[in-house]
Structure 1
Amino acid sequence: MSRLQGVAGQGPRRGFRAERADDITAVPQGLLKAARKSGQLNLSGRNLSEVPQCVWRINVDVLEEANQNLLFSAAERWWEQTDLTKLVISNNKLQVLSDDLRLLPALTVLDIHDNQLTSLPSAIRELENLQKLNVSHNKLKILPEEVTNLKNLKGLYLQHNELSCLPEGFEQLSSLEDLDLSNNLLTAVPGSFSSLSSLMRLNLSSNQLKNLPAEISRMKNEITLLQSLERLDLSNNDISSLPCSLGNLPLKFLALEGNPLRTIRREIINKGTQEVLKYLRSKIKDDGPTHNDSAPDTTAMTLPSESRVNVHAIVALKLLDYSDKQTTLIPDEVFDAVKSNVVTSVNFSKNQLCEIPKRIMELKETVSDVNLGFNKLSFVPLELCMLQKLTFLDLRNNFLNSLPEDMKSLIRLQTINLSFNRFKVLPEVLYHIPTLESILISNNQVGSLDPQKMKMMENLMTLDLQNNDLLQIPPELGNCVSLRTLLLDGNPFRVPRAAILMKGTAAVLEYLRDRIPT
């Protein structure tokens, strides 16, 4: 307790009795006494709009109470109390954290997920012993650079916030093993990420990343960065190419679904992580990254300022690209530019389209990859259903609430991205497309699905249902043994509990199967 005496001296005991009276209903004295013995305090789900002072002062007040012989019985000797090391305040209504958290310097775990925090106090830098910080499912717009001072941090969980950028200085987090930044608004990540030598798991899924840090691209055949990285999730971003040097990382799992990748054939991606890494390694030149490694996308896919249509992309990459123009219509000259060339990919994302252009049907003999994400589409027309060679369809971030039955004619479709739309049920037609391998339908309002029909989808390997309105998970879903990735976080169901979800897809499916009524 001597370590806290200096802290106690900084803050006099003004208003102590009043604070204790106000806080007692939110934090019963029995809970505080138990926490002083165990070093752990769980205040999850108590409808708190602020953290009571008695929590911040839980160890400071021990000394003051002892000096005044308050509240201590013979069985509660003050010298046997322990510093608070774990504080859980998740699932409350907190909008701000006080700088008083510096009064808990012994904390190793701070869990404040599922609140309404928009920022973190700069005093967080004083939690020098912190090993796990969970601020997921809040409203953080900025991450203070003070977080990068937490030298002992092993787990940092920031998923489901509103972060659009990150501070420099991540290289200081030399102990960091687990970093989750999924479901934010990131368009780039700091180059300092490549210096996280202890990092084992990095989740960057469901952001707006266009590429990886240049530091990774500059790596040659010898790895000097990210030596421990085993899991890298890049799914649901805007990444069109990967640096070949990524193949040198010791990855056991690499997720790429939901990206408009152009430089790796989809059949290679479908073969799994090791085949992708092998392919990337095969493209590394002996003298390190060259023009062919790092530049094709920027030279071949970027529109010259004086040109409306990228003819070079059509010829060299078989790509019809008219994205990020904020246009409400695709001009005829875009389709006219195709002429007799073969086009296998179409990218009309990031516009203001309310309708899919009818002329897309002209490409039905060749096109296999269509990206219409980030538009204002409210329906899918018959013309799209006629692209019978389609294998990849990106419709995320639109206004869709249903899909037409005619989509059953897409007999080669393998991946469909419907994230950030307005679906209330899993579209019926998807059950009737047997070739589907990945269904990405996170951040909708899906409240039900049919596990019996889903069981018939023998090729389905990835099902992303994060952030929907599922009140219960049908146990029969456990029979969908083909699933390799089942994502359920962010739904209001009570079981399976988070501890089960964290164990991964196989454990969740086994849990569900065990609960199927006999």
Structure 2
Amino acid sequence: GKKGKGKAAAPILTTPAIIKARQTCLCPRLGDSLRNMEIADDCRMDVIYWRMNKAAERGHNALNLSHAALDFLPEDIIHIPELVGVVSLDLSYNRLFNSDHVFEILTHLPLLKKLNLSHNRLHGALSVAACRIETLEELRLDSNELTKLPETGIENWRSLKVFSVSHNRIKELPETVGEWTSLEEINFGNNQIKELPFEIGNLKELRRMNFSSNQLQFVPDQVGELTKLVSLDLRGNALVTLPVTLAQCTKIEHLNLGANRLTRLPPEVMGQLLHLRDLQLYRNKLDSLPPEMGALQNMERISLSSNNLRSLPEELGQCSSLRELYINNNSKFKEIPASMGHLAMMRELSARSCPALKSLPATAKNWTGLKQLDVRAGKKKETCKITPDVAEALKGGGATIRGGNIKKAKGKKGGGKKKKK
């Protein structure tokens, strides 16, 4: 129509009820949100100061400020006289990000021995101020965003017994770690370390060593000097060989070498680790095992899954403590030696996705304590034949059999043999 004519716009109606609905049912005002956040922050800080004052009142030498959503460390921690004597401080699961600020405060706690800063947001290089806390015996920095340790100064941590910095982005291990001569446990799992310094051999008291999920291509010979090692975890690296000096670490009970590129195991090493109980060799490139492994009579668990194995050495039947054996996903694996049928402690044997395995040894009927047997070929047709007497013995002991082709006893097929006329 002409200008000035046409349908008039509907009037906008605003009633008290509509205004109230907008205020209560729709998004709250930004100012209210900020105020609510301030109140929540005040409540959280009240809880933190309550914890600090409670520890001071009771004269505790341990202070727990974990799971407190801390963005910064309150400086009042060093102004409460009763807290100056804190020996153990737990700051894990917070949001601390500036390690300079954190450690500048912590240097005023002269008796601090245990410090847990795991699961925070500490980023970049670890503050050199941390090196001034020479009383530390246990330092945990797991699950942060650290990229580097101070190259100098950490030698001051001569009393350190536990150092754990897993799940960070550290690329290099300073040579000065060799000064941690009291260290018993070191954990650098899930970092980006490419090599270990030779000085690591100075850690004579070391019992547990974890460098899993890094980028190591070799292990220095000096690791053989760590003769008190009980647990060594090097899984998820790029190792091709092992140093023969590892044979000197005769107290090792747990050895994890899974997910590497190993093509062989030094026989002079495997025959000497007589205390070994748990051996993980999955996802490597092994096509055989040294017969010297038969000397490992304390072995309870072996994982050989995802390799290129065709068989196992007869000597493995001498590992009288063996309870669990995993050889899954070895496509060319075709034989379990008869000697292994005499392993009375066997509880689980898994040979899943080994289509070349055509049968179990007749001696397998001696596994009367077996609880799990898995020989699923991973194809439509099962390939592993299990004789009736073996199947009956295993099931009689309570074993669950997965896969395999259980042969029927002779004379029972079709209701028995037909009589001659």
TM-score relative to the length of structure 2: 0.49
Structure number with larger C-alpha Rg: 2
TM-score relative to the length of structure 1: 0.40
